[in-house]
Amino acid sequence: MHSLRVGTALTAVLTRGVDACCRGASAYGASGLPNVINNESSSSATAYHPAADGCPETLATRISDPTTSSSSLVALVEYVKRFPTQLGVPTASPQPLVGHRGLGPSSVGCRFEGVLPLWSLGAAPLMSPVSVSHVRHLGTTTNLDEAAQAAGLNKVAVSADVLSRVKDHGLLHTAGFIGGKWADVASDKSTFEVRNPATGAVIATMPRMRADETRAAIAAAHAVLPQWRLRPAKERAAVLRRWHDLIQEHKADIAAIMTLECGKPTAEALGEIASGAASVDWFAGEAVRVCGDVLEPPTRDRRMLVLKQPVGVVGAITPWNFPMSMITRKVAPALAAGCTVVLKPAELTPLTAVALAELAERAGLPDGCLNIVMGDAAAIDMFYTGHELVSSDTVRKLGFTGSTAVGRLLASGAGNTVKRISLELGGNAPVIVFEDADVELAAKGIVASALRNAGQTCICANRVFVHDKVYGKVAEAVTSLTAKLKVGDGSETGVTIGPLITPAALEKVTGHVADAVSKGAKLLFGGAKPELPQPLAGGNFFVPTVIAEATIDMRCFKEETFGPLIPLFRFQSDEEAVLLANTTEYGLAAYFYTRDLARAWRVAEELEFGMIGLNEVAITSEVAPFGGVKASGLGREQSKYGLAEFLDIKYVCMGLGYSTA
């Protein structure tokens, strides 16, 4: 993906490394292949002088060769990782490592800035002398790709696009995170690709983990649980606050990663980061406020207490549309409560998740408190990560955000081990504009809500019901606001509508528009893919679309579009509006616009949804309970109610052995 660029950089740094040292390991097998490839290891570290061996030249020739592939370089660094004890690494006179952390004391004498994180080296011990000995060997190997393959190493890399947009390459792990260690090769060595939805280009290759890794992650979370839960809440809060501060410090990099992998415009990515960081900060505050009760006993011979204790190991499964905030709203309260976590981020957006884990590690979160496994959702079988989390007896709570179909599967699976579960599922949110509404405010709210993240949020306005008397005005205002939006690559200034996440998502919104038009809806704006220059022509873009005269027989009434479509329905009475709004299996968020106080109360109470926005669509907040009713889910996230989901109640009855009456 970027061999030339990296090759050049690596040449420079390794040559510096060669100059800086004169000791290394004799790390070859009889065949001349490095031991990692021969699958044999030597325990002797012998003195090695690169100059005598002509090593620097060989190294420079090989690594600066533009055909040198990333897997060859993976082989090189993997070798270094696997044989740290053979390195004969100098421990005195360390030179500072620029821009890196976690390389350990054995990394003295080298400067790998901008290079090592590409291969997820994490905290692996690294140094120059061994690179020298190994690279000398690479110089004698005719086919580096074959060598890497023979070593069982997969290509694990990020694209040049990612490298150029993200400053701190230490955030770019192409790996899971288990027990404080970055795991960049899956047990069966399989991988999956992450694509930029704006161009369709592959931006990273990640290890596709399976049951082995999930079990290891659960075991790591379980092992550290006794320690973490007993840490004073104040200390847990301090770690969370440091995490929050680091997230804020790195928000530009996180936003760049997020936009690359999920397509949302930078401004929205920054908004999500602010909201995710706010959750971390808020739960840090709540950690120290967890408290039980002392009850008034019915007799004086006893005392009755209620303790609040962490539920234990938590499994978290998150979606791609909010690659950060769906994680922080689960992980932050879990850690605050004293739980430990195994996170499975969406396979479409794993890079944001690993960046967050990197920052959590830098914040001082102990190894094993937050683990990440990643893989796809091709099927539920005994190897499937979600399945492991569900069926494990050790995992005591599962937090999930995603589709209702998967939520149902998880809920039924969780029944077998009787674990707690919170589900935040589909939405199909209605907006009702009553005849007394502030039309301008309502139009702004409709567009903001329906088109946020290109319509891909579970609380996006999906069905807009407008009173007959204001229908024309609302339609005009909504269309005019929609027409002002700019479609394009989310990282470009001024772009307000990014791509849809996948070609399938694009197909769905296209299908909804075609279905509505075929049944008599009027296209007011949009309705097609935009004309965009390369490389965006390969992206999943759709022009934000407004349709009038939508009716209940259309797919856009019955299903969540999850795309940039605003269908306008008509109604004549309050009863009709509420009935239409409630005619869905979902019950997450609903919005309505009115200036009538009595109507406000009545409608708020009649709508069968977990969250109501009255004259307001920006309802999400770390202090407010987020969640739904009916097929939209169970439990609540955020707020004190969200924290309670991670705490078990224990009742203690203390017999005194005498009566104080």
Residues 429, 407: Cα–Cα separation, whole Å: 18
Residue (373 or 443) nearer to ligand ADP, CB? 373
Determine if 388 is a binding residue for ligand ADP (CB under 6 A): no
Q: Decide if residue 403 touches ligand ADP (CB under 6 A).
A: yes
Q: Catalytic annotation on 531? A: no
| Closer residue to ligand ADP, CB minimum distance, 428 or 594 | 428
- Rounded least distance, CB 409 to ligand ADP, Å: 5
Site string for ligand ADP, 320-339 (x = CB under 6 A): x-------------------
In the complex, which residue's CB is closest to ligand ADP?
386
CB atoms within 10 A of CB 559: 17
Stretch that binds ligand ADP, among 28-36, 44-52, 183-191, 341-349 (CB under 6 A): 341-349
Nearest to 95 by CA among 119, 127, 60: 127
CB closer to ligand ADP out of 101 and 408: 408
**How is residue 288 written in tokens?**
């120290």
Determine, following the binding rule CB under 6 A, whether residue 347 of this chain makes contact with ligand ADP: yes
Q: How far apart are CA 473 and CA 457, in angstroms?
A: 26
Q: How far apart are the first and last CA of the chain?
A: 80
Which of 380, 600, 619, 644 touches ligand ADP (CB under 6 A)?
Answer: 380
User: In this structure, are residues 6 and 77 in contact, taking their beta carbons and an 8 Å threshold?
Assistant: no
Q: Which stretch binds ligand ADP (CB under 6 A): 277-285, 340-348, 528-536, 613-621?
A: 340-348
Of 50, 319, 430, 633, the one binding ligand ADP by CB under 6 A: 319
Note whether 417 binds ligand ADP by CB under 6 A: no
Contact region for ligand ADP (CB under 6 A) — 189-197, 222-230, 312-320, 363-371? 312-320
> Based on CB atoms, which residue is closest to ligand ADP, 251 or 508?
508
- Per CB under 6 A, contacts with ligand ADP among 621-660 are none
Toward ligand ADP, which CB reaches closer, 318 or 540? 318
Stretch that binds ligand ADP, among 126-134, 165-173, 269-277, 318-326 (CB under 6 A): 318-326
17, 109, 386, 563: residue in contact with ligand ADP (rule CB under 6 A): 386
Give the residue ranges of DSSP H helices in 263-303: 266-287
Q: Which is nearer to ligand ADP, 341 or 346 (CB)?
A: 346
Tell me the two tokens of residue 242: 């440091």
Residue pair 627/635 in contact (Cβ under 8 Å)? The answer is yes
Number of residues that make up the chain: 661
Q: Which residues of 587-605 are buried (b: 16+ CB within 10 A; e: fewer)?
A: bbbbbbbbeeeebbeebee
Kindly tell me which residue out of 344, 396, 397, 467 binds ligand ADP, with binding defined by CB under 6 A: 344
Q: Where are the beta strands (DSSP E) in 196-333?
A: 202-207, 293-295, 302-310, 313-317
Q: Phi and psi (nearest 5°) for 310?
A: -60, 145
Structure tokens belonging to residue 490: 């989310």
Q: Taking CB under 6 A as the rule, does residue 377 contact ligand ADP?
A: yes
* Residue 438 burial class via C-beta count within 10 angstroms: exposed 0-12, middle 13-18, buried 19 and up: middle
The C-alpha atoms of residue 627 and residue 634 are separated, in whole angstroms, by 7
Q: Tell me whether residue 332 or residue 410 sits nearer to ligand ADP (CB atom).
A: 410
Taking the complex as a whole, how short is the minimal distance between the CB of residue 441 and ligand ADP, in angstroms?
A: 30
Q: Closest distance between ligand ADP and the C-beta of residue 411, in Å?
A: 11
**Beta-sheet strands, E only, within 492-646:** 522-525, 545-550, 565-571, 589-593, 611-614, 633-634
Does 89 engage in binding with ligand ADP (CB under 6 A)?
A: no
Q: Where are the strands (E) in 201-323, listed by range?
A: 202-207, 293-295, 302-310, 313-317
Question: In this complex, which beta carbon is closest to ligand ADP, that of residue 70 or of residue 318?
Answer: 318
Q: Which is nearer to ligand ADP, 190 or 403 (CB)?
A: 403
- Looking from the CA of 65 toward its CB, the CA atoms found within 13 Å total 17
What 8-state DSSP symbol labels residue 84? G
Q: Of 458, 420, 464, whose CA–CA distance to 611 is shortest?
A: 458
* Residue tagged active-site, from 424, 560, 622, 637: 424
Which window, 22-30, 302-310, 405-413, 517-525, contacts ligand ADP (CB under 6 A)?
A: 405-413
Least distance to ligand ADP from the beta carbon of 386, Å? 2
Q: Does 12 bind ligand ADP (CB under 6 A)?
A: no
Contact with ligand ADP (CB under 6 A) among 12, 150, 233, 409? 409
Residue spans of alpha helices (H) in 288-366: 325-337, 350-362
Which residue, chain included where needed, has tokens 């007993």? Answer: 230
CA angle 196, 180, 340 (to 5 degrees): 95
CB of 346 to ligand ADP, least distance (A): 4
Instruction: Provide the annotated active-site residues.
Output: 424
Residues that bind ligand ADP (CB under 6 A): 317-320, 344, 346-347, 377, 380, 386, 402-403, 406, 409-410
